[in-house]
Amino acid sequence: MAKQVYPVEEWIEEATVDELQQAMESGERTAAELVLAYMARIAAYDKQGPALNAVLELNPDALAIAEALDAERRSQGPRGPLHGVPVLLKDNIDTADKMHTSAGSLALEGHYAASDAFLVKRLREAGAVILGKANMTEWANYMTQGMPGGYSSRGGQVLNAYGPKFGAGGSSTGSGVAVAANLCTLAVGTETSGSILSPAASSSVVGIKPTLGLISRSGIVPLAHSQDTAGPLARTVADAALLLGAMAGTDPADPITGASLGQVPADYRQFLEKDGLQGARIGIPRAVYHDKLGEEERRAFEAHIAALRLAGADVVDPADIPSAQELASFNSSVFRYEFKADVNAYLSKLAPHIPVHSLREVIAFNAKHFEKTLKYGQITLMRAEETSGTLTEAEYMRDRLKDLRLSRAEGIDAVMARHRLDALLFPGTAGAAIAAKAGYPSIAVPGGYAADGRPLGVTFTGQAYSEHVLIRLAYAFEQLGPQRRKPVWPK
């Protein structure tokens, strides 16, 4: 049996996967003790103290699973580097256990998935402990206008671990905040356009938005299939790279994963090179962000560019994206059409006792229970319901093709080919939308803090299946100096 580790202990703070594995291998710690330690922190900081509200639900079997994995380690050895490591999942990821999957909506409060999402199966096989579900922006922030990131009718408002006056990003808000506050070792988020990168930058953690198709979308409450993907959030690039590899794989239930055949290395951590910036060609797309930065952000980003040069990178500045201006002014309708088609397909498979099986029924449920469900309204859901749900509208097809053209051939592909680049570097999440439309990977890395303590970040973006390159660059950037510091609250 595990020791009684109920008091909040400092040993778990900022612990990396490697450090935890060493502690478990030596017998100094057990997986059960890790679960208890994180439970103590969740009790102290998520539900009391700063009351971050990042954790929506705890897995009632987490401790039992950890104890079983401890027994397996003693008798057979560890399955791999994730054996016994606690992981939080965003609340739109299916788990076939005693936890709900609700996408933050009270309409799905009673939904228990019949099977694990493909990525969850992968994590369980790797020996990870599914610790619980993280709060999120309801319906992945496709419910209404003006709703703050991290708010859901089922879970309430997530707060930034560095101070409630700072936004915590969205929609994988709880996942980012939980990692930042050391409420788990690792977390999984999902992104359609910035929803991993934004909470990563806002919470001073690492977030990887992978190439569309690297990680299966099956078993995840959808927003828009053309851009949806899951991805890791962690405190270090090494840990994020490990989690990415554990979730990647070909899934017969999601045909797009077939495109990743031969593209997934055995372990992304082989690309962690301290000198990985030497000789790298990195472009600075100034036209995307030149009028959007405050003075502090501008100075910090210029300092990072200078540091890249000192580390041996060949910085191309500017390396402007040809389609940047047209993309910025283009209001694509793709989400509006795909959301209804995709969410109806997901909801139609829910158990009969769930009160909603279509977007129309979700809207009706919210209207009936408006005092609890409609604090910010549901105008976006209603506009999506106006579509046919068949994806046959000419506007949808035109806009989807335009998204691809502007983001790929006339966007990222064009600038990278012209300047022979390994990656683009953006301040914060300035390039999140174009990479999301292209289905291309990005990695957000902590980039210091403003004078008031607000976290700043940078994002490396590349072409399809260039995760290994981005991880090499991000890891080398991470080594340039202490970019992350843990949040501190009054005792």
| Nearest one of 16, 51, 39 to 206, comparing CA atoms | 16
Tell me the two tokens of residue 319: 């390396």
Does the reported pTM lie above 0.85? yes
- 375 assigned to active site: no
Which pLDDT belongs to residue 7? 65
Both tokens of 38, joined, read 């994180």
Q: Supply the angle between the helices 237-247 and 467-478 in degrees, to the nearest 10.
A: 160
Residue 5 pLDDT level (bands cut at 50, 70, 90): very low
% residues pLDDT > 70 (the chain): 98
Comparing 291 with 474, the larger pLDDT belongs to 474
Q: In which band, very low, low, confident or very high, does the pLDDT at 24 lie, cut at 50, 70 and 90?
A: very high
Q: Which whole number is the average pLDDT over 294-323?
A: 97
Give the three-state DSSP class for 296.
Answer: helix
pLDDT in tens, 409-468: 999 999 999 999 999 999 999 999 999 999 999 999 999 999 999 999 999 999 999 999
pLDDT bin (cut points 50, 70, 90) of residue 491 is low
Among candidate residues 90, 121, 209, 340, the one labeled active-site is: 90
Of all helices (H) and strands (E), which one includes residue 364? helix 359-368
Residue range 76-85, pLDDT digits in tens: 999 999 999 9
**Calpha distance 72→84 (Å, rounded):** 10
The pLDDT of residue 236 is above 60: yes
Q: Which amino acid is at 64?
A: A
Is 80 exceeded by the pLDDT of residue 1? no
Q: Is 195 a catalytic residue?
A: yes
- Looking at 105, 172, 175, 195, which residue is catalytic? 195
What does the alpha-carbon distance between residue 53 and residue 158 come to, in Å, rounded to a whole number? 5
115 is catalytic: no
Catalytic one of 102, 105, 171, 260: 171
CA angle 153, 175, 336 (to 5 degrees): 55
> What's the token pair of residue 334?
């793709």
User: How high is the mean pLDDT of the chain?
Assistant: 96
Whether pLDDT at 16 is above 80 = yes
Which residues lie closer than 8 Å to 441 by C-beta, 6 or more apart? 208, 209, 210, 211, 214, 435, 461, 462, 464, 465, 466, 467, 470
Q: What integer is the mean pLDDT of 361-365?
A: 98
* pLDDT above 80 (res 92): yes
Q: How far apart (Å, rounded) are the C-alpha atoms in residues 351 and 155?
A: 22
Which amino acid belongs to residue 90?
A: K
Burial track 362-393 (b if 16+ CB lie within 10 A, e otherwise): bbebbeeeeeebeeebbebbbbbbebebebee
pLDDT for position 481: 84
Answer whether 45's CB lies under 8 Å from 39's CB.
Answer: no
Q: What is the pLDDT of residue 4?
A: 44
